[in-house]
Chains A and B, each alone.
Chain A
Amino acid sequence: MKTTIKALEQAARCQQVQLENGMTVLVKPMEGYRDVHVICGARFGSGDCSFEMDGVKHTLPAGVAHFLEHKMFESEEGDAFSQYAAVGASANAYTSFDKTCYLFSTTCGVDQALDILLKLVSRAYFTKETVEKEQGIIGQEIKMYDDSPEWRMMFALLQSMYHQHPVREDIAGTVESIAQITPEMLYDCVKAFYSPANLVIAAAGNITMEQVLDAIERAQLPREKPNVKKIAPQEPQGIACKHREITMSLSKPMLGVGYKEQPTTQENQLKTALMCDMLSELVCGAMTPFYRELYDSGLAGADFSGEFLCVENALCFMFCGETDHPRQVHQKLQQEIDRLRREGVDEELFNLCKNQMYGGLVCELDSTSGMAGALCAAELKGYTLYEEMNTLVEMKVEDINAALQQMLREENSVSVVIYPEKEEEADE
Chain B
Amino acid sequence: MKRIQLEQNAYLNILPAEKFNRCRITVQLRYEASREKATACALLPFLMERGYADCPDPTALSCRLAQLYGATLSADATASGACRSLTVSVDGIQQRFALHEECLAEEYARLALGTVFRPAFKEGMFDAGEIEIEKKKLAEELAGEINDKRLYCLRQARRKFFGKHPAGIERIGYLDEVEGLTAQKVTEAWHWMVENSHVEVFCSGLDEEQAAELVRKELQAVKRNPAPLPEMDAMPVQEPCEYLETMDMVQAKLCLLFTVADFDPVTELSAMRVAMAVLGGSPTSRLFVNVREKQSLCYYCSASFNSYGGMMCIDSGIEPENAKTAQQAILNEWNWLKENLPTEQEMEDARRFILNSLAAVGDSISAQENWYIGQLWRNSTESPQEVHQQLLEVTPQQVQEMMKKFHFSVAYLLTKEELADENNH
**Measuring CB to CB, which residues of chain A are less than 8 angstroms from any residue of chain B?**
1, 3-4, 7-8, 11, 30-35, 79, 81-82, 84-91, 105-108, 133, 136-137, 140-141, 143-144, 146-147, 149, 205, 248-252, 285-289, 291-292, 295-296, 298, 301-302, 322, 349, 352-353, 355-360, 362-363, 365-368, 421
Contacts and interface: CB of A to CB of B under 8 A. Distances in A.
B70 A357 contact: yes
Contacts of B21: 11, 362-363, 365-366
Max count, chain B CB within 10 A of own CB: residue among A30, A35, A89:
A35
A147 B250 contact: yes
Interface stretch (B155-163, B236-244, B352-360): B352-360
A140 B319 contact: yes
Max count, chain A CB within 10 A of own CB: residue among B100, B349, B356:
B356
Contacts of B101: 4
Nearest to B46: A302
Closest 3 CB pairs of A and B: A359-B69, A359-B70, A356-B70
B102 to A, nearest CB: 10
A143 B248 CA distance: 12
Contact of B352 (A88, A362, A366): A88
Given A144-B251, A249-B247, A421-B248, A82 B284 contact: yes
20 contacts: A1-B99, A3-B96, A4-B97, A8-B97, A32-B18, A35-B360, A105-B356, A133-B296, A140-B317, A144-B299, A144-B317, A250-B144, A286-B62, A287-B62, A301-B140, A353-B66, A355-B69, A359-B70, A366-B19, A367-B363
A413 B97 CA distance: 39
B92 interface: yes
Contacts of A31: 19
B353 A85 contact: yes
Contact of B63 (A34, A88, A287): A287
Given A292-B58, A366-B22, A35 B63 contact: no
Contacts of B250: 143-144, 146-147
B70 A360 contact: yes
B365 interface: yes
A302 B97 contact: no
Interface string B214-253: 0000000000000000000000000000000001111100
Contact of A249 (B19, B249, B289): B249
A107 B385 CA distance: 13
Interface of B: 18-22, 58-59, 62-63, 65-71, 91-93, 96-101, 133, 136-137, 140, 143-147, 149, 247-251, 282-284, 289, 293, 296, 298-299, 317, 319, 349, 352-353, 355-357, 359-360, 362-365
Contacts of A11: 21, 97
A4 B136 contact: no
A251 B363 contact: no
Nearest to A286: B62
A362 B69 contact: yes
Contacts of B96: 3-4, 7
A137 B20 contact: no
Nearest to A354: B66
Nearest to B362: A34
A236 B69 CA distance: 41
A301 B19 CA distance: 37
Contacts of A108: 352, 355-356, 359
A57 to B, nearest CB: 35
Contacts of B365: 366
A366 B96 CA distance: 13
A7 B97 contact: yes
A289 B59 CA distance: 7
Contact of A106 (B18, B356, B362): B356
Contacts of B136: 298
Given A250-B146, A251-B146, A362 B356 contact: no
B359 A107 contact: yes
B26 to A, nearest CB: 16
Max count, chain A CB within 10 A of own CB: residue among B70, B133, B146, B299:
B70
B359 A34 contact: yes
A91 B59 CA distance: 41
Contacts of B355: 88, 107-108
Contacts of B364: 367
A363 B99 contact: no
Contacts of B65: 356
Max count, chain B CB within 10 A of own CB: residue among A89, A250, A367:
A367
Max count, chain B CB within 10 A of own CB: residue among A81, A87, A251, A252:
A251
Contacts of B247: 249
Nearest to A206: B363
Contacts of B149: 147
A107 B356 contact: yes
Contact of B66 (A7, A295, A355): A355
B140 A366 contact: no
A86 B345 CA distance: 9
A322 B63 contact: no
A292 B349 CA distance: 51
A410 B133 CA distance: 31
A248 B91 CA distance: 37
Contacts of B248: 248-249, 421
A295 B134 CA distance: 9
A85 B143 contact: no
Nearest to A296: B133
A285 B62 CA distance: 9
A136 B293 CA distance: 11
Given A90-B356, A287-B62, A85 B282 contact: yes
A301 to B, nearest CB: 6
Nearest to A371: B21
A90 B99 contact: no
A251 B66 contact: no
Contacts of A107: 355-356, 359-360
A79 to B, nearest CB: 8
B59 A287 contact: yes
B137 A363 contact: no
B299 A141 contact: yes
B356 A88 contact: yes
A349 B22 CA distance: 23
A302 B137 CA distance: 8
A107 B250 CA distance: 39
Nearest to A142: B250
Contacts of B99: 1, 4, 355, 358
Nearest to A89: B356
A368 B68 CA distance: 24
Contacts of A143: 250-251, 299, 319
A349 B67 CA distance: 10
Given A1-B99, A34-B359, A352 B63 contact: yes
A149 B19 contact: no
Contacts of A296: 133
Nearest to A150: B147
Contacts of B282: 85
Nearest to A7: B96
A205 B363 contact: yes
A355 B97 contact: no
Contacts of A30: 19
Nearest to A369: B364
Nearest to B71: A359
A81 B356 CA distance: 15
Contacts of A287: 59, 62-63, 66
B66 A356 contact: yes
B299 A362 contact: no
Nearest to A81: B283
Contact of A301 (B66, B137, B283): B137
Contacts of A367: 363-364
